[in-house]
Structure 1
Amino acid sequence: MAENEDGTEKSEEPSEKKLREAREKGQVPRSRELTTLLMTLGAAVFLYFFGAQMMQDFETLFVKGLSFDRSHAYDFEMATNLILGLVVHSIYMIVPFLLLMVLIAVVSPMLLGGWNFSTQALAPKISKLNPVSGIKKMFSMNALMELFKAFAKFTLVSVVAGFFLWYSYEEIISIGIEPPKQALAHAGQLIVEAFIFVSLSLIVIAAIDVPFQVHQHVTQLKMTKQEVKEEHKQQEGSPEVKGRIRQLQREMSQKRMMQKVPEADVVITNPTHFAVALKYAPDEMAEPMVLALGSDFMAAQIRTLAKEHNIPLIEAPPLARALYYNAEVDRPIPYELFRAVAAILAYVYQLRDGKRADRVDFDNLPIPEEMKTDEVPGGSE
């Protein structure tokens, strides 16, 4: 089980955030054995299909290079042109092979861990110069695994090469009695076949190394329980910060709400504990809207603003409580309270127009039984 430097156990799987940060730092699983396998196998396959043609081309180059007339020997410019031509021709011959090797070297690491380019990984680190850290790495599990892989590769390649030599012993001996040209071609064929067999043997090493590298990568990034808690706290925010944010949001909401009180047509009160400001504009809205509501201190502020702007204050305790517990700011009043609110609005409009208002029993308005309550707030909002 992985441990921190302070001895705490890393028992938790790495989070998405930890994996993402590691990737940004260039820490992704990589297998050099997989790259080695694909490069040697790619080279072997290329030589198997195109090796004979390359040998013929090189033979032609050798013949041209060793066959020249007297003029080339005594003319520096002609000799230079001949040599340069042979060099350029040889480069053209090996370019496809080199491009294949470069392509495999670039693509093969992406098979494990995907494409990743990190500038942080390129930055110099003073910690890498620490001799103590270097000694620790020499005796780490990763170093032991590298030693094991090196020994396994040596053993495996030796066994496969020895088996191939034993199996092809008679062919190898027969090369000595073949004509030179045929012997060279035959020797080249055997070398390529041996290369393929040795390359295939590396599949065993790669098959062990790939899972190990993935496991090692995950193990190195494992987290302690405390680190997981700290990460959750950072992502979600501490309770104090979240509480402060909620408080600010509530204060801003209350401020916007209080700014709308002067637009109200009426404020219905408890009269002490609750206050609800309502507005109804038949040309703009289908039903009365709640502009503001509050209890205790907030209710007192609503009543104060209403008095300052000459907005009628109606004491209707049952309706005030029903609206406070069932209505929402900036939303229409509940459908069940339409009749009760309509009676109050009609009363207010009559007073506003200077008419004689009909008597309204504010304590016995038509309020559904399920909306009636005697509950009062326990504190200020």
Structure 2
Amino acid sequence: MRVPDDTKTEQPTPRKRQRAREKGQVARSRELAAGLATAATVAIVAWQVSSFGSQWRAVLRDALSAAQTGEFNWESTVLAWKSVSIFGGTALALGLSWMLAVVASIGQGGLVFAPGSLQFRLERISPAARLRQLFSITALGNLLKSLLPVAAIVYFCSATLVRDWTTVLQLPYRGGGAILVFTLQRLFEAGWKSTLVLLIWSGADYFFQKMKFEHDLRMSRQELRDELKETEGHPAIRARIRRLQRQVRRRRMLQDVRRAAVVITNPNE
């Protein structure tokens, strides 16, 4: 476990941020992109669930009718178009979810291209290094971080099941339509509750990732001085350059005075 450096109290410079970005280091939360994609999927499914149900019923009805008459053929125009419309709606939901995940990922840190990350490094394929990462404090923290939203989702689903347990016991005595409606309603309830948990958790995760990123970028006073030397040169050298520049300007002024016919001075001095 890395001990925090208390000497790094200064805010990072733009050059330090740029170097970190060139290495692919940006504040980013994978959970936020996954949470937004899940929310989009649940919203689209809830919006299209009635049309999906009617389309599936039409496809099954036509398929059973065609099977009874011996004319079952997937190349049938009506059956093919209905199947395409169903899978097209499913592809639309998946495509929009994927696009939202990409936009959320780009929105957190922008487009980052780090060629250095593509370089071959021996520690990436080292079994010992991988084992150290697997059993490190960081890996344990990430595991616990992933289990917390799962535990919350399991709790909500269990609470819903306990609440409706009496209704569940009565389902075998009801018709197929009532069972389907009950199941879809509970699935939708579990879906939006799970989505809410993921969104809250992913927002908190992004906040903590941002704080950790800013903390890791902090610099010590010595690092600030070293960077200043790299960008603007050593302070003693800069002072000598300014002194020489003043001397050059003074010599030029004296030469101009010798050639001048009239010299105007400040009477207040």
TM-score (norm 1): 0.58
Q: Provide the secondary structure at the position in 2 that maps to 1:67.
A: helix
How does 1:153-192 map onto structure 2 within 5 Å?
153-192=149-188
1:334 maps to what in 2? Answer: 265
CA–CA distance in structure 2, aligned partners of residues 117 and 191 of structure 1:
38
Q: Provide the secondary structure at the position in 1 that maps to 2:66.
A: coil
How does 1:1-150 map onto structure 2 within 5 Å?
3=3, 11-17=8-14, 18-68=16-66, 72-73=71-72, 79-80=74-75, 84-110=80-106, 113-120=108-115, 123-126=118-121, 127-150=123-146
Cα contact 2:52–2:86 (8 A) shared by 1: no
Q: CA deviation at 1:230?
A: 0.9
Question: Which digits, 9 at most, give the CA deviation of each residue in 1:66-125, with x for residues without a partner?
Answer: 43266745xxxx6445575454222222133123202321233355x3423224366234
CA–CA distance in structure 2, aligned partners of residues 137 and 222 of structure 1:
24
Q: CA deviation at 1:49?
A: 2.8
Structure 1 unaligned segments of length 5 or more: list them: 265-275, 281-287, 290-332, 337-369, 372-381
Question: How many residue pairs align between the two structures?
Answer: 265
User: Between Structure 1 and Structure 2, which shows a larger proportion of strand residues?
Assistant: 1
Q: Which has the higher contact order (CA 8 A, sep 6+)?
A: 2
Closer/same/farther in 2, CA of residues 200 and 171 from structure 1, 3 Å limit: farther
CA–CA distance in structure 2, aligned partners of residues 59 and 14 of structure 1:
62
Cα contact 1:52–1:185 (8 A) shared by 2: no
Identity %: 23
CA–CA distance in structure 2, aligned partners of residues 16 and 33 of structure 1:
28
Q: CA deviation at 1:146?
A: 0.8
Q: CA deviation at 1:51?
A: 1.6
Question: Which digits, 9 at most, give the CA deviation of each residue in 1:234-259, with x for residues without a partner?
Answer: 2332135425644664576578x39x
Cα contact 1:156–1:201 (8 A) shared by 2: yes
Q: Provide the secondary structure at the position in 1 that maps to 2:258.
A: strand
Structure with max Cα Rg? 1
Counterpart of 2:229, as a letter, is K
CA–CA distance in structure 1, aligned partners of residues 46 and 137 of structure 2:
39
CA–CA distance in structure 2, aligned partners of residues 84 and 196 of structure 1:
33
User: Between Structure 1 and Structure 2, which shows a larger proportion of helix residues?
Assistant: 2
Closer/same/farther in 2, CA of residues 50 and 86 from structure 1, 3 Å limit: closer
